[in-house]
Structure 1
Amino acid sequence: MPRPARTSALTLGLMLAAALPLPAGAQLPPQSQAAAQTNRIVAVINGEVVSRADIVGRARLFALNAGIAVAPEVLDRLTPQVTRLLIDERLRLQEVQRRRIPVTDADVADAVAELEQRNNLPPGALRAQLNQVGIQPRVLYDQIRTQIGWARLLRQQLGPNAIPSEAEVNETIRAATARVGQPEFLVSEIFVPIDDPRNEAEVNRFTEEVIRQLRAGTPFPVAATQFSQAQTALQGGDLGWVRKEDMDPAVAAVVERMPPGAISNAIKVPGGYQIVAMRQRRESGRDMATLLSVRQAYFPFAGTLDPNNPTQQQRDQVEKAQRLAAGARSCDAVEAAAKTSGNDRPSDPGPIRLETVTPPPLKAMLAGLSPGKPSQPILMPDGVLVMMVCTREQRNLAELTPDQAKQQMLRDRVELLSRQLQRDLRRRATIEMRN
């Protein structure tokens, strides 16, 4: 696993050489010109260098995540804000190191493995994918290392006082109960700070580019993880369910008018700009749901099914599914069958909210299944599936639990501290920008 981004003596020598003026009439060979441009120093932060290569690498990482091509004009629009983002990350990492907060290679490797797992990638696939498109894996690893270290620093700074007391939690729940029936919004955010008022126009241009990419299909969590400077960036910008009183008044005024699925324009808030995505609406305290726990056994086909000419292997798999559907009397039986089905699809897909199941025929089938009764085999092009409902529960998902109240209060305190510390680091730092 690469170490945190540091400029080696050799690399620094190359960068300094590239920054020196050439004698009159002298020209670098084409390859040397490219290397000089790549290794050009863009900023020096407390003695540490951010190069053009660092900025290009981060912009390419964003493009890979977003599924877009980095055209030169797009890179030019992203460059000022990516530069600012890398400066802030370098300040954070320096502070983490100054306080001797450990972030090991194993920590980073675990985070990468979790990313691969979430995206259904085999181990090592992320590194291979980065190399394939010309992105040094350390670009991602450095970002992850900084995020882990900064989160640990904030927890250390807050200390025991970060944990809300029982009295504070109870008061939050009482206040939530009093608000039953008021509107709530499931919102995600991207926060882009303005550290210098002279750069406001530049920051605004950057937010417009991000909004353009979001509306063109870039997943909001991807953009938030890459560019938001709020602590919610670690969760893809997820703010959870909030009321208008929980948001900045300017943001609340916009959110109240947004339909689900909409992405706002840049909203000016204290300290910067905020972009919000409206995901859902509900009435506070009222969100009744039917929650199912299920087990499934999937019998895969060796090839795509031709209904008019099934292979013997496909017939055998259908017969296995039919025997299970006829004989299974418990979820344990379905789970046992799944383990011998020759397929790595999990037997437990996790909690399912019936109201959100698609397609409609699957929803209707699950709605009609009594707990402990298997479904009829569900034929698909690549296999056959048998499902069983284990439990069915009606629950009010909008009811605030003590744990949810505690997490909400803790998140707010962490976010406030994060913004304060970042401003302090900027004020104390020696930042030299190079043309």
Structure 2
Amino acid sequence: MKKAVRSAIAGIGAAIIAAPLSSTGALAQAGGSDAFNLPEDVSFIMEQVQEPNQRRATARVNGNIITGTDIDHRLALILSAQNVELAPEDVATLRLQVLRNLIDETLQIQEAAAQDMEVTAEEVNASYERFAVESRGMSVAEMDAYLASVGSSSRSIKRQIQGELAWERLLRRNVAPFVNVSEGEVTDLWERLQESRGTTEYRLGEIFLSANSANNEQVRANAQQIIAQLRQGGSFVAYARQYSEASSAIVGGDLGWIQLEQLQQPQLEAAAAQMTPGQLVGPLEIPGGYSILLMIDQRQIGMADPRDAVLSLKQISYVFEPGTTPAEAERQGAAFIAAVQGMNGCGSADAQAAAVGATTVDNDQITARQLPEALQGVLLQLNVGQVTPPFGDLSDGIRVLMLCGRDDPQETAGPSIPQIMAQLEDERINRRAQRYLRDLRRDAVIEYN
């Protein structure tokens, strides 16, 4: 089975609660209105045209009803995962997006059933139980209770699972077998990658919103709202899953490790070339809509990344007693720092820490990139036995990290030929999946209430 098809079901486990799954969207094609021969001055026959935000968010899709409860439970699930409180108008926009996602899920489930690939209740329940136990460490009853506590239900997640399983089956039978990548294409790309050894590749996240001449300004405003919410602490993965119309939405917008030319959009290439890890830019106007980019990480192709070094660390902490005055905390902190600076390596650190009332914790298998960015550079400059500058505050105490050992990473050869082939297949399956879902929408009979 090709990677793109596998990813459709793999996403069910890890991120349903943190970032609810949304169906893969179709990229709208940019185009004018010439084919419709529209007049410049449009006069509506009716005095009032109902605004989308005023419509009751329920629908009948080819005879299957999406109820207000369905939307409420999915919306509650999404809102529970947000780190920021959304404004009422943002919640209204999100509610409409939830309806669109539920429509897509319904179309996928219906299509699978029509092609004798219906997902059974037993399969859905087994996937739900597996998710609860393996990803959340809960029993099914505990998961049910948690969902109820946030205003959602197990039915909402099971519906997502059913949609994902149905879509995975459809892609596996109707799309993946007809995607071909030649050995020549793969070999050419592999040779180009070898020639680019030592150059930078990027791990990017993208949220794509389709737009056309009729809704361009509204889509741009929506993109700006999303960026504002992300900068206030919103989850990029959650917003990508819920709003992005690119095929990467199913994996939280993660494009994986790529070179800039693979973006195939000059605007995106130019922006990404100037970005640093953690930086967010956009909305960037590209053919067909707007993109929001997040620079997740960067690395040198085929070269060892120092941040992949496996470190052996000892954390030495000093906690202030409740009620300690700032002056007394400053005195105790100074004594702790002096003691730490006088330590003679990791071998005697436990005893020396205990002598001044400090505690120690060891971790012998942590990579530098797993640590906060502020600590990464400091630790990679230390010799064994040295410590970081102290950090912390009066409420949490102060601490240092002592470097007890380091295993430097080995250089890598970059992606293998099978990995390159899988990536190209993945991209082509995703493009065909977008067209497939677009066709399902076009042929559907959808009645709004």
Tell me which interval the TM-score lies in, with the shorter structure as reference length.
0.5 to 0.7
TM-align CA RMSD: 4.7
Matched, 1:264 2:264: no
- SS of corresponding position for 2:308: strand
**Aligned counterparts of 1:396 and 1:78: Cα–Cα separation in 2:** 43
Aligned to 1:96: 112
In structure 2, relative to structure 1, the CA distance for the partners of 1:386 and 1:110 (3 Å cut) is farther
Residue 298 of structure 1 and its aligned partner are, at CA, apart by 9.2
- SS of corresponding position for 1:100: coil
Matched, 1:216 2:232: yes
1:278-300 C-alpha deviation (Å, 9 max, x unpaired): 33455655564363346779999
**Aligned counterparts of 1:220 and 1:138: Cα–Cα separation in 2:** 25
Aligned to 2:44: none
1:416 to 406, 431, 437: 431
**Aligned counterparts of 1:264 and 1:210: Cα–Cα separation in 2:** 10
The answer on whether the counterparts of 2:305 and 2:409 sit within 8 Å (CA) in structure 1 is: no
Matched, 1:105 2:110: no
The answer on whether the counterparts of 1:231 and 1:414 sit within 8 Å (CA) in structure 2 is: no
Higher normalized contact order (CA 8 Å, seq sep 6+, divided by chain length): 2
Residue 45 of structure 1 and its aligned partner are, at CA, apart by 1.0
1:357-386 C-alpha deviation (Å, 9 max, x unpaired): 752697259x534xxx9x9xx999699999
2:95 to 55, 67, 79: 79
**Aligned counterparts of 1:228 and 1:275: Cα–Cα separation in 2:** 9
- SS of corresponding position for 1:393: coil
Aligned to 2:164: 147
In structure 2, relative to structure 1, the CA distance for the partners of 1:204 and 1:60 (3 Å cut) is farther
**Aligned counterparts of 1:362 and 1:250: Cα–Cα separation in 2:** 36
The answer on whether the counterparts of 1:293 and 1:391 sit within 8 Å (CA) in structure 2 is: yes
Aligned-pair identity in percent equals 25
Residue 410 of structure 1 and its aligned partner are, at CA, apart by 2.9
Aligned to 1:401: 416
**Aligned counterparts of 2:106 and 2:446: Cα–Cα separation in 1:** 11
In structure 2, relative to structure 1, the CA distance for the partners of 1:92 and 1:236 (3 Å cut) is same
Aligned to 1:187: 204
1:31-83 C-alpha deviation (Å, 9 max, x unpaired): xxxxxxxxx66221111122333333333332221223344322223333332
> Is 274-283 or 286-295 further displaced after alignment?
286-295
Residue 254 of structure 1 and its aligned partner are, at CA, apart by 5.1
**Aligned counterparts of 1:163 and 1:294: Cα–Cα separation in 2:** 43
Aligned to 2:247: 231
Residue 165 of structure 1 and its aligned partner are, at CA, apart by 5.9
Counterpart of 2:438, as a letter, is: R
Matched, 1:134 2:151: yes
The answer on whether the counterparts of 2:314 and 2:404 sit within 8 Å (CA) in structure 1 is: no
The answer on whether the counterparts of 2:237 and 2:252 sit within 8 Å (CA) in structure 1 is: yes
1:93-114 C-alpha deviation (Å, 9 max, x unpaired): 3223333356432123323445
The answer on whether the counterparts of 2:119 and 2:165 sit within 8 Å (CA) in structure 1 is: no
The answer on whether the counterparts of 2:129 and 2:140 sit within 8 Å (CA) in structure 1 is: no
Residue 167 of structure 1 and its aligned partner are, at CA, apart by 4.8
The answer on whether the counterparts of 1:116 and 1:125 sit within 8 Å (CA) in structure 2 is: no
The answer on whether the counterparts of 2:77 and 2:151 sit within 8 Å (CA) in structure 1 is: no
In structure 2, relative to structure 1, the CA distance for the partners of 1:382 and 1:166 (3 Å cut) is farther
Equivalent runs, 1:28-427 vs 2, <5 Å: 42-98=58-114, 99-101=117-119, 103-116=123-136, 127-159=144-176, 164=181, 167-180=184-197, 184-193=201-210, 202-249=218-265, 251-253=267-269, 255-256=271-272, 258-260=274-276, 261-270=279-288, 272-281=289-298, 286=303, 288-289=305-306, 291-293=308-310, 325=347, 349=365, 351-353=367-369, 359=375, 363=379, 368-369=383-384, 389=405, 391-396=407-412, 399-427=414-442
The answer on whether the counterparts of 2:204 and 2:295 sit within 8 Å (CA) in structure 1 is: yes
Unaligned runs of 5+ in 1: 1-39, 309-321, 327-344
The answer on whether the counterparts of 1:190 and 1:233 sit within 8 Å (CA) in structure 2 is: yes
- SS of corresponding position for 2:152: coil
Number of residues of Structure 1 aligned to a counterpart in Structure 2: 360
Residue 188 of structure 1 and its aligned partner are, at CA, apart by 0.5
- SS of corresponding position for 2:415: coil
Unaligned runs of 5+ in 2: 1-55, 330-343, 349-360
Residue 237 of structure 1 and its aligned partner are, at CA, apart by 0.9
Residue 346 of structure 1 and its aligned partner are, at CA, apart by 11
**Aligned counterparts of 2:140 and 2:266: Cα–Cα separation in 1:** 44
**Aligned counterparts of 1:284 and 1:56: Cα–Cα separation in 2:** 46
In structure 2, relative to structure 1, the CA distance for the partners of 1:83 and 1:41 (3 Å cut) is closer
The answer on whether the counterparts of 1:301 and 1:382 sit within 8 Å (CA) in structure 2 is: yes
- SS of corresponding position for 2:268: helix
1:157-201 C-alpha deviation (Å, 9 max, x unpaired): 34456585655433321122234465543211123345x875655
1:301-348 C-alpha deviation (Å, 9 max, x unpaired): 99989999xxxxxxxxxxxxx9x957xxxxxxxxxxxxxxxxxx9977
Residue 219 of structure 1 and its aligned partner are, at CA, apart by 1.8
In structure 2, relative to structure 1, the CA distance for the partners of 1:299 and 1:211 (3 Å cut) is closer
- SS of corresponding position for 2:81: helix
**Aligned counterparts of 2:438 and 2:58: Cα–Cα separation in 1:** 21
- SS of corresponding position for 2:282: coil
- SS of corresponding position for 2:408: strand
Aligned to 2:24: none
**Aligned counterparts of 1:43 and 1:348: Cα–Cα separation in 2:** 55
- SS of corresponding position for 1:185: strand
